Structure 1
Amino acid sequence: MAQDIPVYNAMDVSISINGRVIQGFQENDMFSAQYKEDQVRTNVDAQGSPSMAINNNHLGQITVNLSGSSRDYKTLLTLSNTHEVFSVVVITPIEKITANQCLIARQPSAAYGKDTPKRTFTIEALDMQMDPK
Structure 2
Amino acid sequence: MADIPVYNAKDVVLTINNIVIQGFQDGDMISYTIKEDRVQTEVDAQGYPSIAINNNRLGQITINLSGNSASHKYLNSLANANKIVPIVIKTKNEKITGNQAIIAKPADGQFGKQTPKRTYTIEVLDMDVQVVA
The structural deviation recorded for 1:50 is: 1.4
Name the stretch that deviates more: 48-57 or 35-44. 48-57
After TM superposition, the score normalised by the length of structure 2 is 0.95
| Contact 2:80/2:105 (8 A) holds in 1 | no
- CA deviation profile, 1:78-121 (whole Å, cap 9, x unmatched): 00001111110111111111111111113221100010000000
**Aligned AA for 2:12?**
V
1:91 aligns with 2:90: yes
Match of 1:81 in 2: 80
Q: Structure 1 stretch 61-70 or stretch 2-11: which is displaced more?
A: 2-11
- The AA in structure 1 aligned to 2:17 is N
Q: After TM superposition, give the deviation of residue 54 of structure 1 in Å.
A: 1.3
Aligned residues: 132
Partner of 2:16: 17
Equivalents in 1 of 2:47, 2:87: separation in Å?
43
Contact 2:96–2:128 (8 Å) recurs in 1: yes
TM-score normalised to the size of structure 1? 0.95
Q: Aligned residue for 1:63?
A: 62
Match of 1:8 in 2: 7
Alignment partners' CA distance in 2, 1:68 and 1:81: 17
Contact 2:13 2:89 in 1 (8 A): yes
Return the alpha-carbon distance in structure 2 between the equivalents of residues 93 and 128 of structure 1: 19
CA distance in 1, matches of 2:35, 2:113: 35
Q: Could you list the runs of 4 or more consecutive aligned residues of structure 1 that deviate by over 3 angstroms after TM superposition?
A: none
Amino acid at match of 1:53: A
SS at 2:32 equivalent: strand
Partner in structure 1 of residue 38 of structure 2: 39
How far is the alpha carbon of 1:62 from its aligned partner?
A: 0.6
Kindly provide the amino acid, as one letter, of the partner of residue 8 in structure 2.
N
Gaps of 5+ in 1: none
> For structure 2, which runs of at least 5 residues remain unmatched after alignment?
none
Give the AA of the match of 1:78: S
Q: What's the RMSD between the two structures over aligned residues? A: 0.9
SS in 1 for 2:40: strand
